[in-house]
Amino acid sequence: MKECIAAIATALAPAGLGVIRLSGRNSIEIAAKFFKSSNSSKDIKLLNGYEAAYGKILDGDFFLDDGVALVFKAPCSYTGEDVVEITCHGGLLILQEILNICTKNGARLAANGEFTKRAFLNGKLSLTQAEAVADVINAESLSYLRAVNEVKNGILYKKAKGISNKLVELDGNILVWLDYPLDDLPDIDILKFKDEIRCQKLKLDSILQNVKFEGVLKNGVQVALVGRPNVGKSTLMNLICGEEKSIVTNISGTTRDVIASSVAINGFDFKIFDTAGITDSSDVVERLGVERAINKLKTADIVLFITDNLTKDEDLDILKGYESSNIILVYNKSDLNYKKHCFSKYKFSEIVSTSHNNYSSIEKLKQAIYNVKQLGNINFNNMPLILNSRQKSSLERSSKILENLLKMLNSNVALDAIGVILEEAIDELLRLTGEKVSDVVLDDIFSKFCVGK
Ligand code: GDP
């Protein structure tokens, strides 16, 4: 077991409770120096794993706080080492003092992500699972949390490992053949071999398909509200998000910059952007606002084209070049009972009528926004989401290597060359799972974690 490390595991802000975590050699003995159980039979040195004791936290004779010590015994802990978690009152002074006592008694301050790094090094988590821990902590939408939890529970690891195991098996067949060419071994069936490689490449590519969900799940779906001034964009934004973020007036040109707010629809996070009304204004500030609105339109996942009784065909021009499958036409101010203009130039993905005094029309609009990206079709069970560029590059590289190998197999290539290339693909996958990864890469990954995790 490595030296004992200690850190405040909870956020550095006053709170009801706070947790100090110790892990490593002598962590229980170090905690026992300042944690005195109320019940002597529950001295923490005598506790079994997963047992807790209530007691006093003392700095010498000085009573600092009372709290609970929870003991984990190696290897049944997060890090795989002996671990003690002290839960006390969440005062910053208390937590800092306890941490000082830990270091005075032989613990070292933990570096960022060091507990999770130890969990990885002790074989409790693969590297992709360890990376997912940081994403679980930082998740801001339920949908992302669900997807990331699948990765934390090992789905990406299992899929990558399954592919690398198969490649290792194929490589093994080649090695046997190369080692014993004169024995009565059957020839390698190149057609079957190619099929196997193709099948593993397809599996890699199907994991890579999930890249498209990462941004949408992690950062939310970007929705831009566009349309002429005064059609009701700001009103709609406030109603969709349930807060008064945008200023509503009947004076045109009030919104001069892009204003952002967010809303969760069926557990998915949507970032809504209210933009300046698109118009040929001579006002410099208003013109800059329009420019920003057009830029937002270009990068948005979904565009709500808001219209009212005064909107005309030429107002559609702003949508030029934008993928029509992601545009929702909104006939706003439907309470005015105007004749709906038919914007025949475009095939909108959805058409919705709304009014600021009709709540159910706003709910319908929210449902339409949700439907456009077909988010309901995402199946999180067993979905190997790719969480970062490191994971993506490893998968892309191994897929590319297999693609090159398939091309080579069409010509008369030597078996030992095939073996070398297969091993390159395997190495990439082992780098992904963390079975073959350099210290520099590990340091980089864990330095992005918070202290105490
Ligand atoms: P924006 O310039 O497109 O952001 O439009 P605003 O949200 O500022 O609204 C412009 C004016 O239209 C305000 O006076 C709103 O009260 C009014 N308005 C907004 N939505 C509706 C609606 O559904 N029905 C009616 N009758 N008026 C609306």
* The CATH number of the domain covering residues in 5-110: 3.30.1360.120
Token readout for 412 is: 């008369």
- CATH fold for the domain made of 130-210+383-446: Four Helix Bundle (Hemerythrin (Met), subunit A) (1.20.120)
68 forms bridges with which residues in the sheet? 54, 87
Model-level pTM?
A: 0.81
Distance from Cα 249 to the centre of ligand 1, integer Å: 7
How close is the Cα of 321 to the center of ligand 1, in Å? 27
CA pair distance 214, 136, nearest whole angstrom: 13
Closest CA to 269 of 248, 299, 241, 249: 241
In order, the DSSP letters of 335-388 are: GG-PPPP--TT---SEEEE--TT-HHHHHHHHHHHHHHTTGGG---TT-----S
202-211 pLDDT tens trace: 999 999 999 9
Distance 324 CA to ligand 1 centre (A): 25
pLDDT band per the 50, 70, 90 thresholds, residue 397:
very high
For residue 302, what are the β-bridge partners? 223
**312 neighbors 232 (Cβ within 8 angstroms):** no
| CATH 3.30.479.30 holds for 217-377 | no
Q: What is the pLDDT of residue 255?
A: 58
Dihedral (C-alpha) 143, 144, 150, 154: value to the nearest 10 degrees? 180
Q: Where are the domains of the chain?
A: 5-110, 130-210+383-446, 217-377
Ligand 1 centre and the CA of 308: distance in Å?
9
Protein residues whose CB sits closer than 6 Å to any atom of ligand 1: 229-235, 248-250, 254-255, 277, 332-333, 335-336, 355-356
Report the candidate in 78, 9, 66, 14 with the shortest Cα–Cα distance to residue 37: 66
Q: Give the mean pLDDT of the chain.
A: 90
Which residue, judged by its Cα, is nearest atom 6 of ligand 1?
232
For 153, the token pair is 């529970």
Whole-number percent of the chain with pLDDT over 90 = 68
> Does 63 score more than 90 pLDDT?
yes
Going by pLDDT thresholds of 50, 70 and 90, the confidence category of residue 133 is very high
CA dist 185 and 6 (Å) reads 58
Q: Answer whether 5-110 and 217-377 agree in fold.
A: no
How high is the pLDDT of residue 41? 84
Q: Whose CA is nearest to atom 24 of ligand 1?
A: 333
Choose the residue to mutate in 226, 228, 230 for probing ligand 1, maximizing ligand atoms within 8 Å of C-beta.
Answer: 230
